[in-house]
Structure 1
Amino acid sequence: MTYGVIDVGSNTIRLCIYEVEDGRIKSLFNNKTTAGLIGYVDGGELTRKGIKKACDVLSAYKEMASHAKIKELFVFATASLRNISNTDEAIETIYEETGLKVDVLTGYEEATLDFKGAAHTMHLGEGIMVDIGGGSTEILVYDHGNIQDATSLRLGSLSLYKNYVSKLFPKKSEEAAIREKVLSELKKVKFLRERQFHTLVGIGGTIRAVKNMNNDMFGLPRQNDRVPAKKLPLLLDEFHDEEKSTLKKVLDVAPDRIHTLIPGMLILDTICRNFCCNEILVSGYGVREGYLYKKVVLEE
C-alpha cells in the first residue's frame, strides 16, 4: 500500500510518499517547502499570515498527493504548532481551509517516533539520539533497542538564529551565547546530568547537512554516514572566514539552510562535547517513518 505523510515543521513542511509492505517502509517521493513558520510567531502566537502560509503549502501538497493514488494521507506537526499559544486555532483553521486534520505531537512523542524510525533501518545498541529541528531539539537515551528516557528542548536551529543572530551568520559572541543557551537547557534535564555516550545517533536535515559537509570536506564517499565528533570544530572553522566566503560554503553544502546550518552545528557540537561523544551516526530515517510505522504497521 502507498501512503503519504506531511510533516509540518518550524522551518520546513515536507511531503513524503511511502510504500508499506510486510511491515517494511520504502520511500518513494520526498518534497519540501521552506515555510519558516517560526518566523511568523509573534508574542507566542502563530499569526494569521503564518497560518495562511501553512494552509497554502498544505493545500498544494494535498493536491500533489491526490495524484499519487495513496491509500491515506497523514499530517502531523512538531514544534511549529506545539510551541505556540494558539495551537487549537491553528489546527481548526487548517482543517477548515484544507480539510486536513493535523496531529500535533508532544516533544516526548516526537523523540520516541524518531527512535522508531531510526530503529527500523539500523541496529541500536547503547547511546543517545538527537534530532535538531527548527524549533526544538529532541534527545533520547536508549539501551539495546529500548528507550530509557526522552525529552524535547525548546530550542532549534531556526529559533536560535531568530533569537541570537543579528546578521546572516553568527559572530563569535553570538556563537558563545548559543552554546551557553544549549548548555543551560541541557542542565535542566535530570536524566542527562553527568552522562557520557560514545555514539550519538543523529536525525534530521541539519545533521544530514553536517554529514554531507564532512564527506565533501574530507573526500569521503557520499554514502558514508559517520562523522567523528572531533571533526565538528574543524567544520565550524570553515565558516569563520569573511561573510562572502562563508556564504559560498553554505550554498555549496546546504543552500536551503543558509541561515540555520551554523546554529544547528553549534547545537550538535555543544551536545557532543557535553556528553563526550566520539562519533555521530547519521540516520536517514526519523520521525516521519516512525509516525507512519505507528499509524500503519502497528495499528494493522
Structure 2
Amino acid sequence: MVYGIIDLGSNTIRLSIFKYEDGKIRLLQNKKAIAGLAACVEGGGLTEIGISKACFVLNRYKDILKAQNIENYSVFATASLRNINNREIVLNEIKERTGIVPEVLFGDEEARLDFIGVKNSCELSRGVLIDIGGGSTELVLFENGEIKRLTSIPIGALNLQNKSVKGIIATDRELKKMKKIINNALDELQWNFESNYETMYAIGGSSRAALEISKELFKIPAEERSFNRANVKEILNRLKSADVKDYKAVYKINPERIFSLSGGLVILNEVIKRFGCEVINISKDGIREGYFIDRIIDQMSDKEENNEK
C-alpha cells in the first residue's frame, strides 16, 4: 500500500509518501514548503494571506499525488488551525478551494501521535520527547517505554519569535523575554518536575536545525543524530554575541529558519534545563509516521480482524 500524509503545520507544510509492505513502513518521498502560517495570524485569526498560502501548497501537493497515481491520502493540521479563532471559516475556505477537509488534531493527541512515531524507530525506555513546531510545543514524559505525562503548549518557534522579536535578529533582551515566556508556560503545567531525565528525543524543524548547526560548529560526525546540552547553550551564546561574526556563522548554516531559529532554540534549551537532559537524539520518525500507524495501519488491521470474526 502506498499512502500520502500531508501535515499542515504552523511553519512548514509537509507531504510524506509512505509504502507499507510486509509489516514495514518505508518513506518514499518527502516534500516541504515553508508557509509561515503562524506569522499570518492577526487578532487571533488566520488572515486571507495565510489561507491562500495554505491552499496553494495543498493544491500543489494534490497535483504531486495525482501525477504519481496515489489516490489514498490524509491531511491533518496541528497548531496552524487548532489555535485560531476563525477555524470553521478557514476550514470551509480550504474545502472550497482545494476539496480537502483537514483533520484538526488537539494538542494531547498530537503529542500521543508524536510518541507513536518516535517509538516506531527508537527504543524508548525513559526520557523526554519534545516536538517544537511553529505554533506549539508538545512534551511527553515516558518511562519503561510508556507515556507517563503528555501536553501541548501553545508556544512554538515561529509564534514565540514573531511576538518577541522586533527585527530579524533577536537581541539579548529579546532572548531573555522569550526565555521568560516559555518558563512561565512550563510553570503553569504544575507538573512535579523531575530533573533527571537524561535522554531527550526531539522532532521538528528547530531540533533538526540545532543538530545541523552543531555538526557544523562542533565537528560532530555527519552520520550522528545526537548532540548535547552544551552544544545548545553555545549556539545561543553565539546568537546573543555582540560580535556579528558569531551569530552570522549560525544563521549561515540554516538561513531558511532565520525567523524561527532563536525562538526554537530558546524553547529547546529551557526544556533541557527543566528536565536535566544531557543528550538530545533526533528521531527520523515523527508525527506523520505516528499518524500513518495510528489512523491508517492500525485501523486497517482492526477492520481485517473484525471481518475475520
| Aligned residue in 2 for 1:175 | 175
For the pair 1:249 / 2:250, whether they are aligned, the reply is yes
For 2:247, the aligned partner's letter is T
Q: Is the CA contact 2:118–2:285 (under 8 Å) kept in the aligned structure 1?
A: yes
How far does residue 5 in structure 1 lie from its aligned partner after superposition? Answer: 0.9
- Measured against aligned partners, the alpha-carbon deviations of 1:108-138 in whole angstroms (never above 9, x if no partner) come to 0110111000000010001111000110000
Q: Distance between the aligned counterparts of 1:233 and 1:209, measured in 2?
A: 14
For the pair 1:235 / 2:244, whether they are aligned, the reply is no
Query: Quick one: structure 1 residues 168 and 24, their matched pair in 2 at CA, closer, same or farther if it must change by over 3 Å?
Result: same
Q: Is the CA contact 1:5–1:74 (under 8 Å) kept in the aligned structure 2?
A: yes
For 1:209, the aligned partner's letter is A
Query: Identity rate of aligned residues, in percent?
Result: 37
Query: Quick one: structure 1 residues 266 and 211, their matched pair in 2 at CA, closer, same or farther if it must change by over 3 Å?
Result: same
Aligned to 1:201, the other structure's residue is in SS state strand
| Aligned residue in 2 for 1:261 | 261
Q: Distance between the aligned counterparts of 1:194 and 1:93, measured in 2?
A: 45
For 2:104, the aligned partner's letter is V
How far does residue 192 in structure 1 lie from its aligned partner after superposition? Answer: 4.9
Q: Is the CA contact 2:193–2:274 (under 8 Å) kept in the aligned structure 1?
A: no
Q: Is the CA contact 1:251–1:258 (under 8 Å) kept in the aligned structure 2?
A: no
| Aligned residue in 2 for 1:277 | 277
Q: Is the CA contact 2:128–2:197 (under 8 Å) kept in the aligned structure 1?
A: yes
Q: Distance between the aligned counterparts of 1:127 and 1:113, measured in 2?
A: 16
How far does residue 230 in structure 1 lie from its aligned partner after superposition? Answer: 2.1
How far does residue 248 in structure 1 lie from its aligned partner after superposition? Answer: 4.7
Q: Distance between the aligned counterparts of 1:268 and 1:47, measured in 2?
A: 29
Report 1:29-68 matches (<5 A): 29-68=29-68
Aligned to 1:183, the other structure's residue is in SS state helix
Query: Quick one: structure 1 residues 23 and 192, their matched pair in 2 at CA, closer, same or farther if it must change by over 3 Å?
Result: farther
Q: What TM-score, normalized by structure 1, do the two folds share?
A: 0.95
How far does residue 247 in structure 1 lie from its aligned partner after superposition? Answer: 3.6
Q: Distance between the aligned counterparts of 1:27 and 1:283, measured in 2?
A: 14
Q: Pairwise CA RMSD of aligned residues? A: 1.5
Where does structure 2 lack aligned partners over 5 or more consecutive residues? 301-309
- Measured against aligned partners, the alpha-carbon deviations of 1:60-101 in whole angstroms (never above 9, x if no partner) come to 111111112224111110000000011111112111111112
- Measured against aligned partners, the alpha-carbon deviations of 1:264-296 in whole angstroms (never above 9, x if no partner) come to 111111111111111111111111110111122
Q: What TM-score, normalized by structure 2, do the two folds share?
A: 0.93
Q: Distance between the aligned counterparts of 2:62 and 2:20, measured in 1?
A: 20
Q: Distance between the aligned counterparts of 1:277 and 1:70, measured in 2?
A: 42
Q: Distance between the aligned counterparts of 2:206 and 2:192, measured in 1?
A: 22
- Measured against aligned partners, the alpha-carbon deviations of 1:182-221 in whole angstroms (never above 9, x if no partner) come to 1100011133534431111111111011111112222222
Pick which of 106-115 and 258-267 moved more. 258-267
For 1:216, the aligned partner's letter is E
Query: Quick one: structure 1 residues 192 and 267, their matched pair in 2 at CA, closer, same or farther if it must change by over 3 Å?
Result: farther
